[in-house]
Structure 1
Amino acid sequence: MAATTVPEQTTKRHAGRPSDRPGGAARTGMSRTVRQNLQAHGFLIGAVLCFLVFSWYPMVREFIMSFQQTKRGVTSWVGFRNLDRVYHDPYFWTAWKNTAQFTLYALVIGFAVPFVVAVVLNELRHAQAYLRILVYLPVMLPPVAGVLLFKYFYNPEYGLFNHVLSSLHLPTSQWLDSSHTAMISVVVAATWMNMGSATLIYLAALQNIPGELYEAADLDGAGLWGKIWHVTIPQTRMVLSLMLLLQIVATMQEFTNVYLLTGGNGPENSTMTVVYMVYQYAFRYNDFGSAAALGLFLLLVLAVFSGVCTRLSRNAD
C-alpha cells in the first residue's frame, strides 16, 4: 500500500502546476515574451518621444513661425511676407554663395583627406592603435579649444603658420583677415577638428574588404592606384556615398567655426553663411519669423538634395 501511495501523492502534488497542465508551458512562454516586448517597447517609446520633442517639434514649430510675426508679444499671421523679406535681403545670395563655396572646399579637402589617411593607416603594420588615437584626438577636443588653437596659428603677427613660412623664406598670408583666404582657412580648421570620425569609419570599411581581392589584383599586375581604383573604391562605395551625403548636409549648416574664427561675416562678408544669417535675424534683429523663413529655405534645399542623392544611389545599386 505504501509503495503505491507515494506516487499517487506525488502525482497529485504536481498536478496543479501550470507548466504540467495542457498548454501551461505555452502560456508561460507567452507571458515571458509579453514582458520582454513591453520592456523593449518602453525603451522604444522613450527614444521616439525624445526624437519627437527635440527633432520633429522644432521642425514643425519653425515651419509655423516662418508664416508668423511677433511684435510686442503679439503674434500674427503674415503669410509669405517673411519668405519674401529674406529672399530680397541684399545678403541673401551672398550667404548662399559662401555656403556653396564652403561646401565645395570641404568636399575637396574634408572628404578626400580622411579617406587618404584611412588608406594609409590600413596599410601600416606597426603603431596602428597609436596612430588611430592621434587621428581621433582632435574630435575629443572641445570645439572652442580647437578654434582658439587655430586662431593662434592664423595670427598674422606671431602665428605658427606665418612663422613657418618666414623660416622657409616664403611669403606670409593674412589668413582670416583677407577675403581671399578666410574661407579656405576656416575649411582647414574644420577639417582638422572633424576628420577623426570620418577616418575611423573609412578604416572600418577598408578592413572589411576581403584580402583575396587585393591578391587577385596583384596577380593581374595592378599597382597601388589600380588597387585603390578597382578594389578599394568599389568595395567602399556605399560608405563613401553615405559619408558624402552626410558631409554635404553638415557643411551647409556650418556655423560654429565661421562664427568663432571670423566673427560670422568675415572680411568683406566673405564667410557669411546661411546659418549665420539665420542667427543674425533671430538674435541680432529679434526677427524670429524671418529667421524661421530662411531656415525653411535651407531645409527645402537640403531635403531636395538628400532625395536626389538617395535616388541616384538606389539606381546605382
Structure 2
Amino acid sequence: MSAPTLPVSSKQTQPPHHDGPPPEARREVFVRSVRRNLSAHGFLIGAVLCFAFFSWYPMVREFLLAFQKTEAGKTTWVGLDNLEYVFHDPAFWQAWRNTLLFTALALLLGFLVPFVIAIVINEFRHAQGFLRLLVYLPVMLPPVASVLLFKYFYDPGYGLFNGVLHFLHLPEQQWLQSTSTAMLSVVIAATWMNMGGATLIYLAALQGIPGELYEAAELDGAGLLSKIWHVTIPQTRLILSLLLLMQIIATMQVFTEPFLLTNGAGPEGSTTTVVYLIYQYAFNFNNYGGAAALGLVLLVLLAGFSAAYVRLSRDSES
C-alpha cells in the first residue's frame, strides 16, 4: 500500500503577487507620457515667458517708476511726489474730462448703433452673410488706414463730408479744427472702425432668442418697439452688460484716433486723452516717473472695471 499523499497548499502553488506593473513598465509609461506632452509643455512655457516679458514685467516696472525719478542717469526714490505732480497738473484734469467725454459719446454711438444694426440684419431672411461681411469689413482694415481715410473725409477743403453738406446747401464744418466738433469727429471715426465685432456678437445673441417669445408678444398686440423692449433687451441683458464693460475699458484707452486725426491734443487741447498725456509725459517731457504715475492711476481705474467684467463672466457661466 502506497503512502497517502499530502494535499499541496494553495499558497505554495500560486505565483508571487506583485503590486502594479514592474518598474520597467512604469518607466516606459512615464517616458511615453513625457514625450506626448512635451510639445504642449513647450508651448505653455513659451506663452508664460511671453506674458512675463511683455505684460508682467512692464507692469511691475511701471509700478516702480511711479515712485522714482531719474535725472542725469541717476534714479532716486521720491515716494508720492510723482502722483502729487500729476494731480496738480491742469492737463491731467483736462485729459480726464476729454477721456470721459469720449467714453460717453463712444458708448452712445458705439454701444447703441451696433445693437440697432444687429436688429436690422436679424430681420433679413436672405443675404445675412453678405451683410455680416459688410459690417465687419472696417475691422479687417488696418487702423491707421481707416483713420487716414476719415482724415480725408474731414478735410475742410475737399473732404467728402463737407462735399455732402455743400450739395445739401448746408453750412460746412471745420470738423477737426473746431473745439465743438473735434471730439465728435474722433468718436464717429472710432465707432465706424470698431463696431463690426460688437454687431456680430449682438447678432449671435439675437439669433439665440426663441421665436416663440416674439410670437407670444405679437399675439398680445406688441409692436416693434414693444417687442424690442420686453423681449429682445431682457433676453440679451447679459451680453449687453458684458459688452458695455468691455467698451468702457477700451474707450478709456483711446490713443490712435486722436493721435492721427488731431495730432493728439487737438484744438485747444480738446482731444487730449489720458493715454496721449502719458505719451507726452514720457516722450515729449522725458518725465517717465510722471508717465508711470498717470498710468498707475489709469490702471487702478481699469482694474475696477475688469473686476466687474470678470464677475459678470462668472455669473454667466454659473
**Do they fold alike, i.e. is TM over 0.5?**
yes
Q: CA RMSD in A?
A: 2.5
Number of aligned residues: 297
Deviation at 1:39, TM superposition (A): 4.4
2:231 maps to what in 1? Answer: 231
Distance in 2 of aligned mates of 1:110 and 1:32: 52
Aligned match of 1:16: none
Aligned to 2:151: 151
State the match for 1:100 in structure 2.
Answer: 100
CA distance in structure 1 between the partners assigned to 2:217 and 2:31 by the alignment = 56
The aligned amino acid for 2:269 is N
Report the counterpart of residue 170 of structure 2 in structure 1. 170
TM-score (norm 1): 0.85
- CA drift at 1:273: 0.5
Q: Highest Rg: 1 or 2?
A: 2
Shift of 1:310: 5.6
Point out the structure with the larger helix share: 1
Q: State the 1:305 CA deviation.
A: 3.5
* 2:242–2:313 Cα contact (<8 Å) kept: no
Give the partner amino acid of 2:177.
D
Distance 1:114 1:32 in 2: 51
Deviates more, 1:96-105 or 1:303-312: 303-312
User: For the Cα contact (< 8 Å) 2:69–2:76, is it kept in 1?
Assistant: yes
Are 1:266 and 2:273 an aligned pair? no
SS of residue in 2 equivalent to 1:76: strand
Q: Cα deviations across residues 31-50 of structure 1 (Å, max 9, x unaligned)? A: 76665555444433332332
TM superposition shift of 1:221: 2.3
Separation in 2, partners of 1:306, 1:45: 26
- Kept after mapping to 2: 8 A contact 1:241/1:313: no
Contact 2:246 2:309 in 1 (8 A): no
- Once structures 1 and 2 are overlaid, which stretch shifts more, 177-186 or 61-70? 61-70
Deviation of residue 185 (structure 1)?
0.5
Q: Which aligned pairs between 1:20-59 and structure 2 lie closer than 5 A?
A: 36-37=36-37, 39-59=39-59
Partner of 1:247: 247
Aligned to 2:63: 63
2-side partners of 1:200 and 1:40: how far apart?
Answer: 32
1:76 positional shift: 1.6
**Structure 1's 312 and 264: CA in aligned 2 closer, same or farther, altered over 3 A?**
same
Whether contact under 8 Å (1:119, 1:206) holds in the other structure is: yes
Q: For residues 42 and 214 of structure 1, do their structure 2 counterparts lie closer, same or farther at Cα, with a shift above 3 Å needed?
A: farther
- Range with bigger deviation, 209-218 or 144-153: 209-218
Cα distance in 1 for residues equivalent to 2:73 and 2:314: 48
**2: CA distance, partners of 1:310 / 1:224:** 34
| CA contact 2:282–2:288 (8 Å) conserved in 1 | yes
1:157-236 aligned at under 5 Å gives the runs 157-236=157-236
Normalised by the length of structure 2, the TM-score is 0.85
Contact 1:132/1:200, CA 8 A, preserved across alignment: yes
Post-superposition offset of 1:302: 1.5
Q: Any idea what the Cα deviations from partners look like across 1:244-296, whole Å, max 9, x if unmatched?
A: 11110110010000110001111111111110000000000111111001000
**Aligned mates of 1:93, 1:167 — CA distance in 2:** 40
One-letter amino acid matched to 1:51: F
The whole-number CA distance in structure 1 between the counterparts of 2:115 and 2:187 is 17
Share of identical aligned residues, percent?
Answer: 69
Deviation at 1:315, TM superposition (A): 8.4
Q: Distance in 2 between matches of 1:221 and 1:310?
A: 39
8 A Cα contact 2:242 2:312, kept in partner:
no
Segments of 5+ residues of structure 1 without an aligned counterpart are: 1-20
Which amino acid in 2 is paired with 1:229? W
